[in-house]
């Protein structure tokens, strides 16, 4: 398959003029607004699609706040911030938002059917050579693609929170993803100043297959009374130079997200070593999900 952004004359994956690539991000939550931010900051016209006016405004305000933080830290000039904001528009319609896009990045909640519904709407309107990427943290790319008309143009583009700060993009090749699509996404990610790492589709990819068992073991350490959350985190920060301890990081990611990913690993590998810690299950049942609810292993009230 040949992949090229619309408006380009080349028949090969075209990444030479990065800003020619129009990008649509679907979902303006933490990850979606971060992804829209980095594409716009790198010169791409970006449309952010979300379900309501309020959600679009919230996403735009978050991007503005995070750009402002970069201006304060002198990583960006005021003029660059204004130019970035001018490249951003919002829409409440997938149909309207995706028409001219060369790359669509889906960042809606981790619900298989919801994502599939989004792809159906996207495929109905996009250019035939547009790439459709998902920022899923663990759902199989191959499984997500199996209701698409063109699974060969579908790929995982896994960003990390906070997106403007973390340099990794895990580029996940599904069973049917065309190599030209992988190559284009690798180049586009580099154009963002990120470091893309290619991996094959497998439960949790590499990032969460390695990260989540560590977080789960940290939770078991608390559950079994080995140490307090503060002490577990102190061990990992001071002994292993982690910027955040695993329990602080679990709160930051969201305990519900951690549990969902562990369940994907547990079911995907059919291996008891991924069994989620009962304390994690209990905290999610109680609605103490970390930063977003103000209470997790730590209090943020
Ligand atoms: N936008 C722009 N800049 C931001 C930002 C944002 N949203 N959030 C933080 N920053 C910048 C700050 O301005 C600051 O810049 P400086 O270095 O020039 O001062 C820098 O990032 C550090 O921020 P702070 O000083 O506020 O705070 P910390 O030094 O404590 O760093 C952190 C915060 C960057 C979050 C750091 O603790 C960290 O790297 N933690 C680990 C994060 C991590 O592991 N993320 C991956 C999670 S897993 C994931 O996302 C995958 C999913 O599938 C689960």
Domain ranges of the chain: 18-200, 207-287
Q: Report percent pLDDT > 70 for the chain.
A: 94
Domain 207-287 fold: 1.10.1040
Average pLDDT, the chain: 94
Per the CB < 8 A criterion, the answer to whether 136 and 58 are in contact is: no
Residue 279 token pair: 């304390």
The atom of ligand 1 lying closest to the CA of 252 is: 47
Phi then psi for residue 133, to 5 deg, are -115, 150
Give residue 36's pLDDT. Answer: 98
pLDDT for 232-248, tens place per residue?
999 999 999 999 999 99
Which atom of ligand 1 has the smallest separation from the CA of 208? 53
Whether 242 is a known active-site residue: answer no
Sheet strand arrangement including 46-49: 88-91, 46-49, 23-26, 103-106, 131-134, 154-158, 168-173, 195-200
Strands 154-158 and 131-134: parallel
Question: Active-site residue 66, yes or no?
Answer: no
Q: pLDDT at position 16, please?
A: 38
The arrangement of secondary structure in 18-200, i.e. its CATH architecture, is 3-Layer(aba) Sandwich (3.40)
216 is catalytic: no
For the cut 70, the answer to whether the pLDDT of residue 1 exceeds it is: no
What is the residue with the minimal CA distance to atom 15 of ligand 1?
A: 73
Is the peptide bond between 162 and the residue preceding it cis, with omega within 30 degrees of 0?
Answer: yes
Tell the residue nearest (CA) to atom 43 of ligand 1: 161
Residue 182 has pLDDT above 90, yes or no: yes
**Residue 128 has what pLDDT?**
87
In ligand 1, the atom with minimum distance to the C-alpha of 31 is 50
Lowest mean pLDDT among 9-13, 17-21, 182-186, 200-204: 9-13
- The average pLDDT across 158-162 equals 97
* Residue 3 pLDDT class (50, 70, 90 cuts): low
Say yes or no: CB of residue 102 within 6 Å of ligand 1.
Answer: no
Confidence of residue 178 (pLDDT cuts 50, 70, 90): very high
Alpha carbon of 243 to ligand 1 centroid (Å): 9
Within a 10 A sphere around the Cβ of 11, how many other Cβ atoms? 10
- Two tokens at 203? 């439960």
Give the containing element (helix H, strand E) for 102. none
- Torsion of the alpha carbons at 296, 268, 135 and 50, rounded to the nearest 10: -70
Considering only CA atoms, which residue is closest to atom 1 of ligand 1? 66
Atom of ligand 1 nearest to the CA of 75: 18
**What CA–CA distance (Å, rounded) separates 281 from 263?**
11
Confidence band (pLDDT; 50, 70, 90) for 8? very low
Token duo for residue 58: 């919230």
Q: How high is the pLDDT of residue 4? A: 54
Catalytic residue among 123, 129, 138, 158: 158
To the query of whether residue 137 is one of the catalytic residues in this protein, the response is yes
* Count of H-run helices and E-run strands, the chain: 12, 8
Instruction: Give dist(CA 49, CA 61) in Å, integer.
Output: 14
Q: What is the DSSP letter of 290?
A: B
Would the pLDDT of 10 be above 90?
A: no
Q: Which helix (H) or strand (E) holds 283?
A: helix 278-285
Contact in structure between 127 and 155 (CB atoms under 8 Å)? no
> Residue 48's beta-bridge partner residues?
25, 90
pLDDT in tens, 39-90: 999 999 999 999 999 999 999 999 999 999 999 999 999 999 999 999 999 9
Q: How far apart are CA 232 and CA 48, in angstroms?
A: 39
Q: How far apart are CA 105 and CA 38, in angstroms?
A: 12
- The strand pair at 168-173 and 154-158 is best described as antiparallel
Q: What is the Å distance from ligand 1's center to 8 Cα? A: 35
Name the active-site residue from 4, 106, 123, 170.
170
pLDDT in tens, 93-144: 999 999 999 999 999 999 999 999 999 999 999 988 999 999 999 899 999 9
* Confidence label for 20 from pLDDT (cuts 50, 70 and 90): confident
């Amino acid at each position: 398959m040949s992949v090229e952004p619309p408006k380009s004359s080349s028949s090969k994956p075209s990444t030479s003029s990065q800003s020619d690539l129009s990008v649509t991000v679907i979902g303006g939550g933490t990850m979606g607004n971060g992804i829209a931010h980095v594409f716009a900051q790198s010169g791409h016209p970006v449309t952010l699609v979300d379900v309501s006016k309020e959600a679009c405004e919230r996403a735009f305000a978050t991007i503005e706040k995070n750009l402002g933080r970069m201006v304060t830290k002198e990583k960006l000039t005021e003029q660059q911030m204004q130019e970035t904001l001018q490249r951003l528009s919002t829409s409440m319609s997938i149909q309207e938002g995706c028409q001219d896009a060369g790359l669509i990045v889906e960042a809606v909640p981790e619900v298989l059917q919801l994502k599939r519904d989004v792809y159906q709407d996207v495929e109905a309107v996009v250019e035939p050579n547009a790439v459709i990427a998902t920022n899923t943290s663990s759902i199989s790319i191959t499984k997500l693609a199996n209701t698409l008309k063109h699974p060969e143009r579908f790929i995982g583009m896994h960003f990390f929170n906070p997106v403007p700060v973390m340099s990794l993009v895990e580029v996940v090749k599904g069973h049917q993803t065309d190599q030209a699509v992988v190559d284009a996404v690798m180049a586009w990610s580099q154009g963002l100043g990120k470091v893309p790492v290619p991996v094959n589709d497998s439960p949790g990819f590499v990032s969460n297959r390695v990260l989540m068992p560590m977080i789960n073991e940290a939770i078991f350490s608390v559950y079994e009374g080995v140490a307090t959350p503060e002490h577990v985190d102190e061990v990992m920060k001071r002994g292993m130079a982690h910027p955040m301890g695993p329990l602080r990081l679990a709160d930051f990611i969201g305990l519900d997200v951690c549990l969902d990913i562990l369940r994907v690993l547990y079911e995907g590998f059919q291996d008891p070593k991924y069994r989620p810690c009962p304390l994690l299950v209990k905290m999610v049942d109680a609605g103490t999900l970390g930063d977003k609810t103000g209470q997790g292993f730590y209090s943020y009230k």
